[in-house]
Amino acid sequence: MKEELAAIKQEILDGIKEKATSRAEAFELRKQYLDSKMGKISGLMKQMKTIAPEEKAEFGKSVNELKNWALEQFTALDEKMKKLELEKRYAKEKIDVTMPAKNIETGNLHPITQMRNQLIDVFAGMGFEIYEGSEVENDYYNFTALNTPKDHPARDMQDTFYLSPEFLLRTQTSSGQIHVMESKKPPIKILSPGKVFRSDDDATHSPMFSQMEGLVVDEKITLCDLKGMLDVFVKKIYGEDTTTRLRPSYFPFTEPSVEVDVSCFECGGKGCKLCKGTGWIEILGAGIVNKKVLENCGIDSEKYSGLAFGIGIERTAMLKYGINNIKMLFESDLRVLKQINDN
């Protein structure tokens, strides 16, 4: 009998050494010996009836000792396996906190979009509504209705991309003025942002650029209203100390026409590189809507008058953000774009 118990003991020791590589395996092994029904040690007790009466006590004691020893072995084995599995998990989940972090790029709005939004904000605050026209336009809306008939020399001011004798890529958002005045009765107060196209290409011109047209038509609209609105605009965009100055100019669709200068926000008017020493920077064209244009749209020019202005969005952004080449706005160079975040 003693040999049998010793053999079981050895078997358990060998099993622990060779068969248990996980908690689950250790548990299976434990069951082979200690399961109350199938376990080998529990089975030994059943042999009690075959044991001679004088040996029963000794046998019972030995089996109990073996059982307690086995319990200790398997409890220790379970602890060991638990620790081992935890170590394995830790090794698998280990992270190197000194590794350089992945850079998550967060984008921001394009400077042209930022400037467009700022302009919309300023003029929406003065009650302007948005009208967005189409980029393909008919000759009538882009030129003729704006008092620029076919043989008008002012057509040469804008190098036009014609798609056909009748259709073209709009050269100015002023075409929106006609659409709005044809479909709406005064009072009118609209802002029309959009892309325009001209065969023009140098450091400050691009074949595609963006404008923001403004049009107000009502009774008794004068140049003073225009100046007042533009003053609000330049103060909001270029700073509270900025003012405007109007110079006579010519556009077929306005009479009188003006070129609007803004006091140099870089030097405060003293004269610097940006304003070429003059203290003023030209920013946009504007004027009082030509009576002929109102009449082309069926608006009574005796009763109503209008003001109009056309802002170049790229130009406004370039001045504000100190960009000297318009191409920088179209090259999508993140090093440039990241520096401009006003929103």
What residues line the site for ligand DAH (CB under 6 A)? 172, 174, 213, 251, 254, 285-287, 308-310
Smallest separation, CB 254 to ligand DAH (Å): 4
Quick one: 254 or 316, whose CB is closer to ligand DAH? 254
Smallest separation, CB 288 to ligand DAH (Å): 8
Q: Which two tokens stand for residue 179?
A: 């659409």
In contact, 20 and 13? CB cutoff 8 Å? no
Quick one: 108 or 160, whose CB is closer to ligand DAH? 160
Quick one: 81 or 307, whose CB is closer to ligand DAH? 307
| Nearest-CB residue for ligand DAH | 310
For 212, the enclosing helix (H) or strand (E) is: strand 208-218
In this structure, the number of other CB atoms found within 10 A of the CB of residue 157 comes to 14
Task: Specify the pairing of strand 136-138 against strand 167-169.
Answer: antiparallel
Smallest separation, CB 246 to ligand DAH (Å): 12
Q: Dump the DSSP string for 223-277.
A: HHHHHHHHHHHHHHHH-TT--EEEEEEEETTEEEEEEEEEE-TTTTTS--TTTTT
Smallest separation, CB 290 to ligand DAH (Å): 9
For 289, the enclosing helix (H) or strand (E) is: strand 280-289
Detail the DSSP E strand segments found in 88-142.
129-130, 136-138
Quick one: 73 or 211, whose CB is closer to ligand DAH? 211
Smallest separation, CB 168 to ligand DAH (Å): 14
Quick one: 233 or 251, whose CB is closer to ligand DAH? 251
Measured between alpha carbons, how far is 259 from 246 in angstroms, rounded to an integer? Answer: 6
Distant-in-sequence, close-in-space partners of 42: CB < 8 Å, separation ≥ 6:
34, 35, 36
Burial zone of 286 (CB within 10 Å; 0-12 exposed, 13-18 middle, 19+ buried): buried
Quick one: 256 or 271, whose CB is closer to ligand DAH? 256
Smallest separation, CB 229 to ligand DAH (Å): 12
- Bond from prior residue into 252 cis (ω within 30 degrees of 0): no
Smallest separation, CB 211 to ligand DAH (Å): 6
Question: At 77, phi and psi to the nearest 5?
Answer: -65, -45
Quick one: 66 or 262, whose CB is closer to ligand DAH? 262
